[in-house]
Amino acid sequence: MLNRSKKIAFEFAQVKLQAQSEEAVFRKVEEYVDSGKYHYQISVNVAKLVYAQKDNRLLRSINEADLVNADGMPIKVIAQLLSGKKTKRMGGLDYMDGLAKRHPEYNYYFLGATEEVVQAVVSHYQGKYNLNIVGWRNGFFDPLELSDIVKRINELNTDILFIALGTPAKEYMLYELRDQLECKFAVGVGGAFNIIAGKQKRAPKWMQNIGMEWFYRLCQDPGYMWKRYLTTNTLFLILLFKEWTRWLLRKLIPCKA
């Protein structure tokens, strides 16, 4: 389980993870846009890691991604231990703000959330960054409409596609539409649109830095979040114990050639 050789990509509990600095990540995105070919990113948190153990479609979507970032303190710590490198926590909002600051000239398309929310997000980024937004659409559509949505995204010569859908819908879409989408870089941003639109609040920076963002979310929506955290965090601890045990056994009983 633990290998301290400094490497970018590695695996934990079947799930591919990467350890890279923020600047290295955005340099990669620039390369993807210059290439003219489709690439996509997925951020992994505890819940997603747990879900991927029993969802092969989700696992495949993560493991085939061009960029995989730690989203949450537990995954960040695992990434740093496995890689021997410092890594940056990066979720959808970090990509949205980071790209807007660095490259407002790219062609952006926003997909997801309600019509009210997505329009508020578009207004925010156009007003704050003068972002070149070529199109947007809410996330409430019939599966039969998906081919027309993809066609429109392609017609607009989209560089960056932000998808604000839930898990695992956005991950399925990022991977399974890889042969249809012609944008250069697609990111699943989850609830980032709702945060930008003011429908939800993000934990203060100091809480994020000490790994307490989960507690802030719990206080905002205790009725839903306590059940999710109880289930996924318990399963994560079991998974962590299993992976640690496997690593320990490999150390104590080395395989014979």
Q: What is the pTM of this model?
A: 0.88
CATH architecture of structural domain 9-246:
3-Layer(aba) Sandwich (3.40)
pLDDT of residue 203: 66
pLDDT, tens only, 75-127: 998 988 888 888 888 999 999 999 999 999 999 999 999 999 999 999 999 99
pLDDT of residue 2: 40
Q: How confident is the model at residue 1 (pLDDT cuts 50, 70, 90)?
A: very low
pLDDT of residue 254: 65
pLDDT of residue 255: 59
3-state secondary structure the chain: CCCCCCCCEEEECCEEEECCCHHHHHHHHHHHHHHCCCCEEEEECHHHHHHCCCCHHHHHHHHCCCEEEECCHHHHHHHHHHHCCCCCCCCHHHHHHHHHHHCCCCCEEEEECCHHHHHHHHHHHHHHHCCCEEEEECCCCCHHHHHHHHHHHHHCCCCEEEEECCCCHHHHHHHHCCCCCCCCEEEECCCHHHHHCCCCCCCCHHHHHCCCHHHHHHHHCHHHHHHHHHHHHHHHHHHHHHHHHHHHHHHHCCCCC
Residue 225 has pLDDT above 70, yes or no: no
pLDDT of residue 6: 47
Q: Where are the domains of the chain?
A: 9-246
